[in-house]
Amino acid sequence: MSDAVSSILSQIRSYQTQLGTRSLEPVQDPGAFAPGAVGFGQPAVKAPSFGESLQNALQGVNNAQKEAGALAQAFELGDPRADLARVMVATQQSQVAFRATVEVRNRLVQAYQDVMNMPL
């Protein structure tokens, strides 16, 4: 289970670098905090909205599934560049990404139901 969590965290970090957002990790100078900044001593960067982040994650899952499918098809057709190990790794990565997406969806649905069941 910890491998799956590590994989998801690494995917989130890669999405973060692709989007050009900065992490919330402090810089070496702890006194360089600027109000309104994203992190310690870093200029403010417009963070993507939740919808954009979710859309990017779904596109990543879709791309992983397409890549795994293309590798599997290339292996079946006898392409020497598509060895069995690469096909299996790509398939497992797409499965882990899909499972994580389903878990996020389940948590969002549960949160929605909790909010709707709150007494006024």
Q: What's the whole-number mean pLDDT along residues 6-34?
A: 61
Domain range for residue 86?
50-120
| Amino acid in position 15 | Y
Q: Is the pLDDT of residue 47 over 50?
A: yes
Q: What is the pTM for the complete model shown?
A: 0.57
What local confidence, expressed as pLDDT, does residue 16 receive?
72
Looking at the structure of the chain, the number of domains it has is 1
Instruction: Please tell me the number of Cα atoms within 13 Å of 28 on its side-chain side.
Output: 0
**Is residue 39 one of the residues assigned to a domain?**
no
**Is residue 65 one of the residues assigned to a domain?**
yes
Give the span between the Cα atoms of 15 and 25, in whole angstroms.
16
**Is residue 23 one of the residues assigned to a domain?**
no
SS3 content of the chain, % helix, strand, coil (to 5): 65, 0, 35
Structure-block tokens of residue 33:
């905090």
Give the span between the Cα atoms of 22 and 10, in whole angstroms.
15
**Is residue 7 one of the residues assigned to a domain?**
no
